[in-house]
Amino acid sequence: MTATADLATPLLDQAMARLRAQETGAPPPDATLTIAEMAERTGVSAHTLRYYERIGLLEVARDASGHRVYTATDFARVLFLTRMRMTGMPIRDLKRYVALAAAGEETIPERRAMLLARRDAVKAQLTELQFALDTIEAKLTGYGCVPGPEFKPAPLRRAEPAPAGR
């Protein structure tokens, strides 16, 4: 994809980078990573990793020279953050979530509530996206395009019953 330059979708490219990261740059066992390695493996730029730390989404140890030392836990957290960001969860909410997580067990109810809200939001988004996809394919048909020789619209299991037909 990204066939035509002016159709480039940065968000999607980043997302694909992250997917690749999840597949190829699998979480290291208990090795540590430099910021450059983290950037490469998570698909999140070093600039952005520093930014996330600055705003309190991450708390990263330093080595003797003051360089950041990322652990497997940090790696997992960055993946979590990027997945939540992908769903459109605002950074302000992620900050709150992370703060709650740092605060201890008694914040679990609120964290759970946040996740439940996010889950509902994501389900709604899936419904909407499917709706938009239907719109696109209808228009493609109008432009003399067959919906496609491919069998499955997407390699995903339908999370939701499709939104009332179309």
Partner DNA sequence: GTAGCCCTTCGAGCGCGCTCGAAGGCAACC
Partner DNA sequence: GGTTGCCTTCGAGCGCGCTCGAAGGGCTAC
Task: Output the smallest distance, CB 99 to a second copy, in A.
Answer: 11
* Pick 36 or 145: Cβ nearer a second copy: 145
Task: Decide if residue 125 touches DNA (CB under 7 A).
Answer: no
Task: Decide if residue 71 touches DNA (CB under 7 A).
Answer: no
> Contact 9/2 with Cβ under 8 angstroms?
yes
Map residues 97-136 to x or -, x wherever contact with a second copy holds by CB under 8 A. xx--xx-----x--xxxxxxxxxxxxxxxxxxxxxxx-xx
> Contact 32/60 with Cβ under 8 angstroms?
no
The C-alpha atoms of residue 36 and residue 89 are separated, in whole angstroms, by 25
Half-sphere exposure of 50 toward its Cβ, with a 13 Å CA cutoff? 8
Task: Decide if residue 64 touches a second copy (CB under 8 A).
Answer: no
Span of 60-68, 110-118, 130-138, 150-158 interacting with DNA by CB under 7 A = 60-68
> Contact 133/126 with Cβ under 8 angstroms?
no
* Pick 65 or 161: Cβ nearer a second copy: 161
Radius of gyration over every alpha carbon of the chain, rounded to an integer in angstroms: 19
Q: Sort residue 53 into left (φ over 0), alpha (ψ -120 to 50) or beta.
A: alpha
Question: Which residues inside 20-49 make contact with a second copy, applying CB under 8 A?
Answer: 27
**Pairs from 133-138 (Cβ < 8 Å, separation ≥ 24):** 134/166, 138/166
Task: Decide if residue 1 touches a second copy (CB under 8 A).
Answer: yes
Span of 15-23, 28-36, 111-119, 144-152 interacting with DNA by CB under 7 A = 28-36
Residues of this chain that interact with DNA (CB under 7 A) are 10, 34-37, 45-48, 50-51, 62, 64-68, 85, 90-92
